[in-house]
Amino acid sequence: MYDPELRPVRDLLRRRTNLVRQRTALLLSFKSLYARTHGQRLDLSDAKTMEPKEAPKLYKHPANQLIAQVQAEHIQALEKSIHRVEKAVLACAKEIPLYAKLLTIPGIGRILGMTITMEVGDIKRFGSDGHFASYCRVVDAKRLSNGKCKADNNQKCGNEYLAWAFVEAANFARRYDEHCRRWYDRKAAKTSKVIATKALACKLAKAAWHVMTKQTDYDAKRMFPELAVRAK
């Protein structure tokens, strides 16, 4: 059973995801209106920081001015709501030992660390890193018999929020961590970018299981054994 004290906090963090999706939809609509009207691209950073009173100045037609102002107001309101939710959840996450350890893993920052912390609950309920990776939906769901695939299992088994979190972590890790980027490039060259991203997400999920289970910091040599060989 999930900790009744943390369940409301977990649900609050899930609501943040909905707010982020709404903000993203409004930002895309805001940029699309500008592109259709001016034939030029509006930077995402400019759309995010646009003040509601400044938005109407981008257009001459009153209808477009009203649309831009309303969307800018909603984007700003959602930004404030998202910040309030993050502040409340972070205050609880800091008190959980698992949270600080997760932040040592490449690609896992404040938001992803909070998501994983709240969604995992008691890490001891997963007997191995493979079981945890399966719960995170970062492994293929197949039924094997005598080494042959007989059927596909339910692809929706597991936790959708953890699946999203580790795929996001994989995308960040391949950009900013040298070892993850090299491993991803080799995997992508042999398969595809989609498979390589999912495979890297699987490695990160297994690394997270070891970090949380053993209460230790991330060790790149354990995730990439070839690094230990080079060190010798």
Q: Is residue 2 part of a domain?
A: no
Q: Is residue 156 part of a domain?
A: yes
> Could you tell me if 109 and 69 lie in one domain?
no
* Percentage of the residues of the chain whose pLDDT score is greater than 70: 88
Question: For 93-97, 100-104, 115-119, 138-142, which range has the lowest pLDDT when averaged over its residues?
Answer: 93-97
> Could you tell me if 225 and 113 lie in one domain?
yes
> Could you tell me if 102 and 38 lie in one domain?
no
pLDDT class of 68 with cuts at 50, 70, 90:
very high
pLDDT class of 117 with cuts at 50, 70, 90:
confident
Compute the distance between CA of residue 14 and CA of residue 8 in angstroms, rounded to an integer. 10
> Could you tell me if 136 and 63 lie in one domain?
no
Q: Is residue 106 part of a domain?
A: yes
* pLDDT at res. 152: 55
Q: Say if residue 144's pLDDT is above 60.
A: no
* pLDDT at res. 147: 57
Q: Say if residue 71's pLDDT is above 70.
A: yes
Count of domains observed in the chain: 2
Which of residues 38, 71, 93 is at a domain's end?
93
**Mean local confidence (pLDDT), 30-46:** 93
Which of the two residues, 141 and 13, has the higher pLDDT score? 13
Q: Say if residue 149's pLDDT is above 60.
A: no
> Could you tell me if 60 and 174 lie in one domain?
no
Q: Say if residue 95's pLDDT is above 70.
A: no
> Could you tell me if 44 and 78 lie in one domain?
yes
3-state secondary structure of 149: strand
> Could you tell me if 89 and 103 lie in one domain?
no
**Mean local confidence (pLDDT), 162-188:** 94
> Could you tell me if 123 and 111 lie in one domain?
yes
* pLDDT at res. 111: 87
Which of residues 93, 127, 153 is at a domain's end?
93
> Could you tell me if 181 and 72 lie in one domain?
no
> Could you tell me if 111 and 86 lie in one domain?
no
* pLDDT at res. 37: 94
> Could you tell me if 209 and 123 lie in one domain?
yes
Which of residues 58, 93, 128 is at a domain's end?
93
User: Where in the sequence is the domain holding 173, given as residue range(s)?
Assistant: 97-231
* pLDDT at res. 228: 59
40-58 pLDDT, tens digit per residue, is 999 999 999 999 999 999 9
Q: Is residue 80 part of a domain?
A: yes
Q: Is residue 1 part of a domain?
A: no
pLDDT class of 133 with cuts at 50, 70, 90:
very high
Q: Is residue 23 part of a domain?
A: yes
* pLDDT at res. 226: 77
> Could you tell me if 216 and 105 lie in one domain?
yes
Mean confidence (pLDDT) of the chain: 87
